[in-house]
Structure 1
């Protein structure tokens, strides 16, 4: 069956006119639209600054001065008739750019190919699982379209390389800030007995379980929770009932620093705390926090301006 073709309709406006424009579109029958607004974007960044060290300059530039509304109609006679009805009485000019349904939903897949990481791991998109895996490699199957955490970012690769070295076969692993589950699932694939994982985003729970299932890992070996170990004492107490041979945190410096005061509660004797997501200019600050909280840094890896640190109590 031929793919449906779409038009992406964009109306530029101002903050002062935004509410009125949205109200008119709704009155005209538009059932769903997206708003892109620089001020909302800045507010979002400010309210969530603890989750990143910096924001890409190109993204900031792209959002500068932006206030616009987008919606979609099919690129055919019916869609153009619908477009005319939806924009009736609206003075703002608009653009309508062709957007194929296949491009919209699936074209990103061509940019995601199997990737070797470290000495052992081989990350494979789930839709390519039938392709042969190089001899001696441990496959890790993921659906990167589900959420963040595909293995392509330098900070994740640094953590995966550390995993190869510090995963203890037959011993448990804890993944703090698990995202897609890539790190804890990799540890299980490398022989960890079982794993617990936690993320502040509730959506990560289902995503991690789905990616685990792609790798033949069931809930008998994998437990994923939603919550924040920095402010949820009950969650910390629950996780600390077990001691782990490896504790992972691929987050950002502003979370790892306070987390370093709690990490020891999860660690078994001789366990490793492996943290990444640290921009190089803050690595010394993170290392100092680890040392202050009784975690001795014994390994530092760097890649493309990012740093991972491995520490023991």
Structure 2
């Protein structure tokens, strides 16, 4: 199958903002190319040897980057490019976007569905949690390590992004062996699987992308998650009454949502009914320019802000349902 590749020449400073724009426009499979050296901390986390480091870090960091994504060729490309241009103009008010040039070209699906796997290596998201691609070997493992095997397929969620790490930190702090967990926008199922590995008693995931269903069940199997401890639904929980009823009312100790700010805002008006009194709503996927907007929505919809955690340009709210 042929796909249309959309690429923007920009700066490393603007990468997160443009990635967020792509998410808002419904573009998936985002690819970032830059020459930013891998930090010593990242090297330790990613299990890289010298050869792999040399292959990944190319050239001298000049502050430039290319952000790309792929869309169905039936997409109205003129309309999409116009939306990207408008988004870049807004982003340019906050950060230097560099050239900001947009290119569109046709490509084969094999060029983007599989090639990214070359750069997805085992890495640590916490002192004792390692994310390992299913096709990679884990050379180093500590005795108390929790190893999560992931093949996201075409669903979102490798665990490498700051937003996912923020959610993991929140789960780590508040989850117990009695926790019933609801994962909104579960993607590959990574947060639910980590929650269950950390001791949660039961997890439910929802995602609007049908590809997530297959990815989740495959990742459950490879991680030894029993089918009776994790259930997934496909659909939009904000809009679909039947899905809301299937998920259940006042059922969950923790709801986690690693999505976009523009989804979390309306979600905050719906999700409270699924949480037990005094339960928690942990959100991430929020670019820092949307922080105040999301905070206002959470407060207006009856949530008490317990903590605001930040990592680079991303924000996570840990909130509590007021009794």
Match of 1:297 in 2: 305
Match of 1:212 among 205, 220, 227: 220
Report the alpha carbon displacement of residue 114 of structure 1 after superposing the two structures with TM.
1.7
Q: Is the 8 A contact 1:168 1:245 kept in 2?
A: no
1:11-22 equivalent positions in 2, closer than 5 A: none
Report the alpha carbon displacement of residue 106 of structure 1 after superposing the two structures with TM.
5.2
1:164-203 equivalent positions in 2, closer than 5 A: 164-203=172-211
Residue ranges of structure 1 left out of the alignment (5+ in a row):
1-31, 73-101
Q: Is the 8 A contact 1:37 1:63 kept in 2?
A: no
The structure that has the greater radius of gyration is 1
SS of the aligned residue for 2:228 comes to coil
Cα distance in structure 2, aligned partners of 1:41 and 1:136: 52
Match of 2:262 among 230, 233, 254: 254
Report the alpha carbon displacement of residue 171 of structure 1 after superposing the two structures with TM.
2.1
Cα distance in structure 1, aligned partners of 2:260 and 2:192: 18
SS of the aligned residue for 1:220 comes to helix
Cα distance in structure 2, aligned partners of 1:116 and 1:37: 31
Q: Deviations over 1:235-283 (max 9, x none)?
A: 1122124611110110011111111111211111331100000011211
The alignment's C-alpha RMSD in Å is: 3.2
Match of 2:293 among 285, 291, 301: 285
SS of the aligned residue for 1:117 comes to strand
Match of 2:278 in 1: 270
Distance 1:105 1:249, change over 3 A: closer
SS of the aligned residue for 2:225 comes to coil
Q: Is the 8 A contact 1:117 1:161 kept in 2?
A: no
Alignment: residue pair count: 246
SS of the aligned residue for 2:270 comes to helix
Q: Does 1:43 align with 2:80?
A: yes
SS of the aligned residue for 1:149 comes to coil
Distance 1:132 1:285, change over 3 A: same
Cα distance in structure 2, aligned partners of 1:285 and 1:71: 39
Report the alpha carbon displacement of residue 170 of structure 1 after superposing the two structures with TM.
2.9
Report the alpha carbon displacement of residue 165 of structure 1 after superposing the two structures with TM.
0.9
Report the alpha carbon displacement of residue 120 of structure 1 after superposing the two structures with TM.
3.5
Q: Deviations over 1:159-186 (max 9, x none)?
A: 1111111222132100001111111111
Q: Deviations over 1:167-210 (max 9, x none)?
A: 22132100001111111111011111111100011111111111
Q: Deviations over 1:119-155 (max 9, x none)?
A: 4322111123554422322111111444321111111
Residue ranges of structure 2 left out of the alignment (5+ in a row):
8-75
Cα distance in structure 2, aligned partners of 1:103 and 1:201: 22
Match of 2:134 in 1: 126
Cα distance in structure 1, aligned partners of 2:99 and 2:221: 38
Match of 1:312 in 2: 320
Q: Is the 8 A contact 1:129 1:141 kept in 2?
A: no
Cα distance in structure 2, aligned partners of 1:44 and 1:204: 27
Match of 1:117 in 2: 125
Report the alpha carbon displacement of residue 113 of structure 1 after superposing the two structures with TM.
1.8
SS of the aligned residue for 1:247 comes to strand
Match of 1:139 among 143, 147, 169: 147
Cα distance in structure 1, aligned partners of 2:5 and 2:115: 22
TM-score under structure 1 normalisation? 0.69
Distance 1:268 1:42, change over 3 A: same
Match of 1:225 among 217, 233, 258: 233
Cα distance in structure 1, aligned partners of 2:189 and 2:108: 33
